[in-house]
Amino acid sequence: DAGVIQSPRHEVTEMGQEVTLRCKPISGHNSLFWYRQTMMRGLELLIYFNNNVPIDDSGMPEDRFSAKMPNASFSTLKIQPSEPRDSAVYFCASSLRTGVNEKLFFGSGTQLSVL
Amino acid sequence: AQSVAQPEDQVNVAEGNPLTVKCTYSVSGNPYLFWYVQYPNRGLQFLLKYITGDNLVKGSYGFEAEFNKSQTSFHLKKPSALVSDSALYFCAVRDVNTDKLIFGTGTRLQVFP
């Protein structure tokens, strides 16, 4: 299995532009998570889906952020409009199912720089 | 609320020496604890987990972790460090109410030749 695939690996954009990050989870996994990593705040859970349905989006910082999972093999995280403080590494992770016993498999992340 | 704390930002150890990366937890109910490792420019990788049972948990790459209920700790250990173990290590706890995985702030391990 290729693991969790994220694209792009790097994104540089200007303030005010729309940014779309993409994620393909591991085939057969039912849960998908979006995390953001910064030096100041560490790893923050933004949103997670179970069976393509958003379960908890309480970590989404503002209305500028939105996430979708139209099917079991694809998810997007969109920022519109982007701001310099959104600069971070965004990780997608998937797991076979929800539950306290389940481990997460992470993608390699998208390094976002908003100028 | 469930949380974990990693009191050390960085741990330095010489190759061949034992290493310990510290983690303490605060939970209501049974703790479900994890360790993940992050190599440069990579996503996090699962190392090991404690759900129930033996207090000493063995994981990937020769790592192990000791669950101590009285001290509310879950320290990561390895008997003999390798230079290739140099990475960022995260302790995490599963929130049983929300199913979220809550990460600590991370500890950078530097192993010197």
pLDDT per position as a tens digit, B74-88: 999 999 999 999 999
Residue A98 has pLDDT above 70, yes or no: no
Pairing of strands B64-68, A110-114: unpaired
DSSP state letter for B83: G
Interchain contact, B94 vs A33, CB within 8 Å: no
Interface size A-B, in CB pairs within 8 Å, comes to 51
Is-contact B25 B34, C-beta < 8 A? no
Alpha-carbon span B30 to B32, nearest angstrom: 7
Neighbours of B30 (CB within 10 A): 13
Which of A45, A48, A100 minimises the CB distance to B32? A100
What's domain B3-112's architecture? Answer: Sandwich (2.60)
pLDDT bucket at A1, cuts 50 / 70 / 90:
low
Alpha-carbon span B104 to B62, nearest angstrom: 22
Alpha-carbon span A13 to B50, nearest angstrom: 41
Q: Which of A79-83, B82-86, B98-102 has the lowest mean pLDDT?
A: B98-102
pLDDT at B97: 78
Looking at per-residue confidence, does B98 or A32 come out higher?
A: A32
> What DSSP line would sit under chain A, residue for residue?
----EEE-SEEEE-TT--EEEEEEPPTT--EEEEEEEETTTEEEEEEEEETTEEEE-TT--STTEEEEEEETTEEEEEESS--GGG-EEEEEEEESS-STTPPPEE---EEEEE-
Q: Contacts of residue B94 in chain A, CB cutoff 8 Å?
A: 100
Q: Contacts of residue B101 in chain A, CB cutoff 8 Å?
A: 33, 45, 104
Which of B36, B96, B104 minimises the CB distance to A100? B96
Residue A88 has pLDDT above 90, yes or no: yes
Alpha-carbon span B84 to B21, nearest angstrom: 16
Interchain contact, B103 vs A43, CB within 8 Å: yes
Instruction: Give me B22's structure tokens.
Output: 């510290």
pLDDT in tens, B31-83: 899 999 999 888 899 999 998 888 999 999 999 999 999 999 999 999 999 99
Instruction: Give me B16's structure tokens.
Output: 């061949």
| B41 Cα distance to chain centroid | 19
pLDDT in tens, A6-40: 999 999 999 999 999 999 999 999 999 999 999 88
Mean pLDDT rounded to a whole number for chain A? 93
Please name the residue of chain B whose CA is at the shortest distance from the CA of residue A104. B46
Over residues A48-74, mean pLDDT: 93
Is-contact A52 A67, C-beta < 8 A? no
